[in-house]
Every structure is written in C-alpha cells, then in structure tokens.
Amino acid sequence: MRNTRSAANGVLGGRAAVVTGAARGIGAAIALAFAAEGARLCLLDRAEGDGLSETAARCAEFGVDVSTVKADVSLEDEVDAAIAKASENLGAIDILVNNAAILTNCRVADMPATVFDETVAVDLRSVFLCCRAVLPSMTSAGYGRIINIASQLGLRGGPGLAHYSAAKAGVIGFTKSLAREVAEDGITVNCIAPGPIDTPIAGDLSAEHLEATRLSLPLRRIGLPAEVAPTAVLLASEPGGNLYTGQTLGPNSGDVMP
C-alpha cells in the first residue's frame, strides 16, 4: 500500500541523493528518512539478497523515484561506474551519504595485515573514492551536501577495534580537509559519529558485551537506526544544515562528549 504521507513538500523535496550501504541498518534508515522528506534516491550496496530492493520498495512508498546500484565501495572502478549510473538515473547528485562500512573485532597483536587493509579500504578509502566521484558535478552545480558516517570509536577508540577506529578517525580528518577544500564551491562536508546502534554490524558481539556497553552509556540506551537518520536529514536540509561544515555530530547516547 502506498504511504499516505506526501513527501513532495518535505525538506529534501526534489533533491537527488546517493546513500551507500543502504540495504540495511543505518543506511536503510537514512534512505527512508530522505524518501519521507521528498528526496529522489539512488541506493548503493554490495549485498547479495533482497535488502537493497526491500529498502528501495519501502522508500518508493513515499512516492519518490528510487533506483539501486550494486558496487563494492572499496573498489575504484566499481565506485566510478556506480556514481556514473546514479547520475544517469538522478541527474546532478545533490547529496552523498557515505555510510557503507564493515566492523570486525581483533586485537592488534593478533591482527593479520589483510584485516587491517580491508577495514581501511571499505571504511576509509571508500569515502575518498565516492567523494571524488561526485565532486565534479557538485562543483559545477555550485551545490552539494556530503555526509560521512564515522563512529564515536574514531574519537575514543576501543579494544579490539584499532583498525576500525583508525579508519573512522581517518574519515573525520578527511572530512575536515575536504570541507575546507570545497567550501567556496557551495559544498558542505560533515560527519555523523553514532554511538552503539542496534544493527547487524556488531553481530559477533555477545549479549553480555552489549549489555555492558549499554550500562556504560550515560543514557543507558543502545540507539536505533531511526534515531540516527534525523541527523542526516538535518545536515542535508536547508536551512537547517546550511552552517555546518567540517563538523562531527554525535548521536551517541552521551558516550563521547567532545
């Protein structure tokens, strides 16, 4: 059944957005929140299976145009081809959300270099590749909103997470530099650094670990993806997002207070 709420007058009405890692979790929630606010969407993921088309179908219920493209965001050729395809579908891309990432748990002393390299490739190199691919059209349009999903672990670190924390700290540093590079082209670049959020990414963590994490948070709550998505809407919207660039916003249950 078509969603009865009209998205046509939403704060992102008519804007064109690419969201990576949109098959599930926070990426799917951001895609839905963008659709509810009227954005036209191209959703990207590498996942086999139904997640991506399910997210697309739920977004389409808001009456917006939605397409999907499969790509591995760590691979240069796949990213360039995916952004070209997204541009064919959407025209100029106004908003890019770099959300796709992987997380594994491994202590540095035991970590194969391949695990470190893969994490940095998927979680950090991908942000560079996707940003580079959209910048020419954003620059010529004189408008763009880039939102990079980092993590509070990029600010505070965590045992067994040096590779992930390093990649996410890299995303925050990359964001600040790119924000300074492209500010005069009308493009803003920001990070969202969520705290613990209930998604499949932490699938191999035990219930005891998750409960200990929950109790360590000032708000005593693991968040939901739908509680992160509104921060992305804010950064993508006008006038709400206009004055943010190079910033890191933290929907994190109080875990980090920079």
**Distances, alpha carbon 254 to alpha carbons 194, 210, 222, in Å:** 10, 16, 11
Interface with ligand NAD includes 194 (CB under 6 A)?
A: yes
Listed in sequence order, the DSSP H helices in the chain are 25-36, 51-60, 76-90, 113-120, 126-141, 153-156, 162-182, 207-216, 229-236
Interface with ligand NAD includes 253 (CB under 6 A)?
A: no
Told to judge if 143 belongs to the known catalytic residues of this protein, a careful annotator would answer no
Q: Which is nearer to ligand NAD, 120 or 141 (CB)?
A: 120
Work out the widest C-alpha separation in the chain, in whole angstroms. 54
Closest distance to ligand NAD from the beta carbon of 95 (Å):
16
Interface with ligand NAD includes 255 (CB under 6 A)?
A: no
Q: Which is nearer to ligand NAD, 32 or 100 (CB)?
A: 100
How many residues touch ligand NAD (CB under 6 A)? Answer: 29
Choice from 35, 73, 93, 146 touching ligand NAD (CB under 6 A): 73
Instruction: Tell the burial category of 128 from Cβ atoms under 10 Å away from its Cβ (0-12, 13-18, 19+).
Output: middle
Question: Interacting stretch for ligand NAD, rule CB under 6 A, among 35-43, 178-186, 189-197, 231-239?
Answer: 189-197
Q: How far apart are CA 185 and CA 193, in angstroms?
A: 25
Interface with ligand NAD includes 151 (CB under 6 A)?
A: yes
Q: Which residues have C-beta within 8 Å of that of residue 53, sequence separation ≥ 6?
A: 68
Tell me the residue number closest to ligand NAD, measured at CB: 25
Given 164, 225, 235, 250, the catalytic residue: 164
Q: Which is nearer to ligand NAD, 16 or 73 (CB)?
A: 73
